[in-house]
């Protein structure tokens, strides 16, 4: 008789690097992100056609209760086509690696990062500004992927951590104060949220059965003549004139 632990082990084996299931998961995640990124371009096109009305109305207004809805809306909005272009490639690449794990977990991680990043801007961003952009989520994905390999201790996750570190590690300077038009508060909040998410939502290894219990079961079963049974156990900030 085999418990659910064996099933979890089988799922882990199928997702091991180099397997057909592994490559299929990466492919599906990449296609999903390729379908999502154009949506951001379409939203920016509408924003451009309406003279930045979407960004102005849907962005995060620091410490203004009327701008609190921007915590949810801001990651879908951008200040310009150049802004959305700068976010498209890292969002596509990092999002693919996060999504390849599991769809439900991806949604939870993304929501967690977006809320923490957005609230960091709302609480600590400059007054009389509107902040939009997906880079807070991107920095969250970066933090998540860098730490996930260490937390989960899987070769695949460690490899992704190394790759992401080589490609985007230099961008960690974006979590520090610098350009007044770049929301470092959102970057830092998103990155820290990603680190925490890697710990909270990590994929746990299935627990192995204790050898002592197996040995005791085998001995008892043999003595009774019965069959042996095994029991495994960068965001853009739009400045507004002062009221």
Averaged pLDDT score across all residues of the chain? 82
Confidence grade of residue 1 (pLDDT, cut at 50, 70, 90):
very low
| pLDDT bracket for residue 206 (50, 70, 90) | low
Task: Please tell me the predicted confidence (pLDDT) of residue 216.
Answer: 46
pLDDT at 2 over 80: no
Is residue 196 pLDDT above 60, yes or no?
A: yes
The token duo for 104 is 């439900």
Whether the predicted pLDDT of 13 surpasses 70: no
Phi-psi region of 20 (alpha: psi -120 to 50; beta: other; left: phi over 0): alpha
**Radius of gyration of the chain measured on its C-alpha atoms:** 23
CA nearest neighbour of 59 among 140, 139, 118:
118
Q: How confident is the model at residue 190 (pLDDT cuts 50, 70, 90)?
A: very high
pLDDT digits (tens, 9 = 90+) for 60-71: 999 999 999 999
Determine the pLDDT at residue 224: 47
pLDDT for 205: 61
Kindly list the structural domains of the chain, giving each domain's residue range(s) and its CATH number in brackets, ordered by start: 4-208+230-239 (1.20.1540.10)
Q: Is pLDDT at 212 greater than 60 in this prediction? A: no
Tell me the pLDDT tens digit for each residue of 217-230. 454 444 445 444 43
Q: Which residue has the higher pLDDT, 5 or 177?
A: 177
The mean pLDDT of 35-53, rounded to a whole number, is 97
Better-predicted residue by pLDDT, 145 or 170: 145
Reply yes or no on whether the pLDDT at 52 is more than 70: yes
Residue by residue, DSSP assigns 73-132 as HGGG--SSHHHHHHHHHHHHHHHHHHHTT-HHHHHHHHHHHHHHHHHHHHHHSPTTEEEE
Tell how many helices (H) and how many strands (E) occur in the chain. Answer: 10, 3
Rounded Cα–Cα distance for residues 130 and 116 (Å): 17
Whole-model pTM?
Answer: 0.79
């Amino acid at each position: 008789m085999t418990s659910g632990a064996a099933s979890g082990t089988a799922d882990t084996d199928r997702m091991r690097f180099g397997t057909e299931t592994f490559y299929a998961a990466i492919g599906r995640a990449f296609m999903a992100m390729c379908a999502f990124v154009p949506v951001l371009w379409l939203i920016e096109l509408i924003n451009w056609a309406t003279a930045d009305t979407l960004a102005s109305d849907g962005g995060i207004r620091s410490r203004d209760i009327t701008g609190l809805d921007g915590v949810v809306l801001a990651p879908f909005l951008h200040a310009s086509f150049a802004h959305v272009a700068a976010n498209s490639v890292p969002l596509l690449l990092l999002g693919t690696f996060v999504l390849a794990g599991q769809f439900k977990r991806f949604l939870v991680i993304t929501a967690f990062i977006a809320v923490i990043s957005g609230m960091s801007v709302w609480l600590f961003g400059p007054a009389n500004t509107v902040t939009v952009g997906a880079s807070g989520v991107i920095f969250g994905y970066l933090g998540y992927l860098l730490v996930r390999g260490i937390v989960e201790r899987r070769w695949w996750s460690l490899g992704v951590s190394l790759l992401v570190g080589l490609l985007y590690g230099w961008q960690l300077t974006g979590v520090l104060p610098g350009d007044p038009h770049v929301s470092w508060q959102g970057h830092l909040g998103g990155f820290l949220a990603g680190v925490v998410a890697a710990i909270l939502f990590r994929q746990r290894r299935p627990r192995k059965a204790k050898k002592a219990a197996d040995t005791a079961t085998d001995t008892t079963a043999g003595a009774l003549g019965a069959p042996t049974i095994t029991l495994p156990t960068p965001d853009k900030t739009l400045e507004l004139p002062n009221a």
